[in-house]
Amino acid sequence: MTNDVQLPELDSVGLLRYGWRQLTSMRTALILLMLLGIAAIPGSLVPQRTQNPMAVSAAFKGSPELSQWMDRLSLFDVYGSPWFSAIYILLFISLIGCVLPRTFEHFHAARALPPATPKNLNRMEFYSSWPATGNELEAARKWFKTNRFRILEKDGSISAEKGFLRETGNLFFHLALILILLGISLSSLFGMRGDAILNVGERFVNTPTSYDSLAYGKLFKDGKLESFILNIDNFDAKYNIVTNAPEDYTLSISLRRGNLENIEKHLIKVNSPLAIGNTKIYLQANGYSPVVTVRDSKGNVAMQGPIPFLSQDGNLRSIGAIKVPDADPQVGFVGSFVPTYARSNGNGAISVFPQALDPRLLLAAWSGDLGLDSGTPQSVYRIDTSSMSQLGLKSLKPGEVFIYPGGSITFEGYVQWVNLQIVNDPGKNFALLGAIVAILGLLASLFTRRRRIWIRVGDVVEVAGLAKNAAPGLEQELKVFIEAVKSEAKGEK
């Protein structure tokens, strides 16, 4: 009673075969392609951890419950999420399953001769005929040869075909996409990427501990970090005096590679990174580091040096924190640095130009527990003042001192800092090669027309043609062909 419909029994092999056929069908591939496009959308609307971690933590603070749910769906890591990966992996399997058999097929077809001329040419498209004079076949053969058609001559007729490049290009395009994917995987497996914030005058030794953040590919080995030492000699930023927009950043460094003694001088700009072997060094962000000296009540130096501040707007008003954990009780300064000082009615001190023409350091001094030993990671640019008490506020010009109960802080001046990104990306050349091949293949496949032309010479000359994919232009080509055959045949007579 239950088995009204007899389903053909599928064993596991049959099931696999069925599944494979479904996956590699064009329809499935197309659905997967569209899904990939749609799946990419949320990542551009929801902040992503890899691009904007600050916005992600802000979202968690704003609505923790919703964010937790979104996080479970990997909405903050869309492009590394299981569902996004599943779509593109399936798409590429489908693509390989589709393209490989076609490659073999095409390879065979490319060596085969075109099929023989059909019997009834007058049923084909663009048919035309005229009385024969005798030499048409030879004339046609000549024309086909100069126009590089592949021909099959049989029983007083020629079947000619051209446009194999279309499928060749198509296949190369799809194979190149696989190459691009391989390049991307190589980069993520064997590559490395790190950031370091360095003040002008500082030295950077390329070891893991020198980085502020460093990410290795899963198969990257520690010892493979390129060995070099560089020194930040100078950083020069030029700004437009009308629009305040930056016009040029130039970073000068001294470099010592590996075990070599000699020191090389280099310039790094935003669009021209420095290459050291397979490693490239990019100039990314920059900003100001106020240089301060903190002394205790006895005048002993508790802390001294430049502290990188984070810029907040186009005029580089920057905020930061100066933490003195060794003081007793601990002291911290919540600071704001303005390169060109002005007062605004609403916002207090603002900066009106990004270059340091009239710098000020505005400080709020706090005393108490900085919370550095609490175990929770802290931003270097902020201080949790919840268990501290304020000692006072002060605005300082370079050279001025702020004396607060228990000590003093001197604003010595400022230096600039730069954020260097150091990258080793071994897969990018494969990706680039893939991209170039993809474009060439695409051009070949979209602009080549595959077509056949037949000619049969008996008492009358019969000509017809067939354009695959209804490509335009065959009619015109046939006209030229017929013209050539007619004039050639006449000329030989």
Partner 1 sequence: MSRTWAYLSNYLIYSSMAVYTLSFFAHAVETAWAVKITKVSTDKNLDYKRTEKVARIATAMMILGFILLFAGVIARGISAGRVPWGNMYEFSITGALAFSGAYLVALRKHDLRWLGLLVSIAVLLTLGTAVAVLYRPSAPLVPALKSTWLVIHVSAAIISGGVFLLANAVAAAYLYLDSMESKGERSHWAKRLPSLEYLDQLSYRLVAFVFPLWTFAVIAGAIWAESAWGRYWGWDPKETWAFITWVAYAAYLHARVTIGWRGRRAAWLCLFAGSTFLFNYVYVNIWGTGKHTYSGL
Q: Are 204 and 420 in contact (CB under 8 A)?
A: yes
Does residue number 44 form part of the binding site for partner 1 (CB under 8 A)? yes
Does 58 bind partner 1 (CB under 8 A)? Our answer is no
| Distance of alpha carbon 284 from alpha carbon 419, whole angstroms | 5
Q: Tell me which stretch binds partner 1 (CB under 8 A): 105-113, 237-245, 253-261, 346-354.
A: 237-245
For the bound state, the minimum distance from the C-beta of residue 4 to partner 1, rounded and expressed in Å, comes to 34
Collect all residues with Cβ–Cβ distance below 8 Å to 177 and sequence separation of at least 6. 92, 95, 434, 438
Amino acid at 78: V
d(CA 422, CA 274): 10
Given the complex with partner 1, which of 15 and 34 has the nearer CB atom? 34
> C-beta of 343: minimal distance to partner 1 in Å?
26
Contact of 321 with 383, CB cutoff 8 Å: yes
Nearer to partner 1, 92 or 282 (CB): 282
CB of 52 to partner 1, least distance (A): 6
Query: What residues does 130 pair with on adjacent strands?
Result: 461
Q: Which of residues 73-132 bind partner 1 (CB under 8 A)?
A: 78-79
Residues 415-434 that bind partner 1 (CB under 8 A): 421, 423, 425, 428, 431-432
Q: Distance between CA 275 and CA 45 in Å, rounded? A: 35
Other beta carbons within 10 angstroms of residue 137's beta carbon come to 19
| In contact, 258 and 227? CB cutoff 8 Å | yes
Residue 255 contacts partner 1 per CB under 8 A: no
In the region spanning residues 382 to 421, those forming contacts with partner 1, defined by CB under 8 A, are: 421
- The only residue of 163, 172, 193, 292 in contact with partner 1, by rule CB under 8 A: 193
**Alpha helix positions (H), 130-164:** 136-146
* Residue 48 touches partner 1, criterion: CB under 8 A: yes
CA 260 from chain centre, in angstroms, equals 34
Instruction: With contacts defined by CB under 8 A, name the span among 109-117, 235-243, 347-355, 374-382 that binds partner 1.
Output: 235-243
Binding mask 452-481 for partner 1 (x = CB under 8 A): -----------------x------------
**Which residue, 19 or 473, has its beta carbon nearer to partner 1?**
473
Which string of x and - marks every residue 265-284 that binds partner 1 (by CB under 8 A)?
Answer: ----xxxxx------x-x-x
Considering just the CA atoms, what is the radius of gyration of the chain in Å? 36
CB 449 within 8 A of CB 466: no
d(CA 461, CA 130) in angstroms, rounded, equals 5
Look at strands 318-324 and 310-311 and give their pairing: antiparallel
Q: Which residues here bind partner 1, judged by CB under 8 A?
A: 26-27, 29-30, 33-34, 36-37, 40-41, 43-44, 47-48, 50-52, 55, 78-79, 184, 193, 240, 242-243, 245-249, 269-273, 280, 282, 284, 421, 423, 425, 428, 431-432, 435-436, 438-439, 442-443, 446, 469
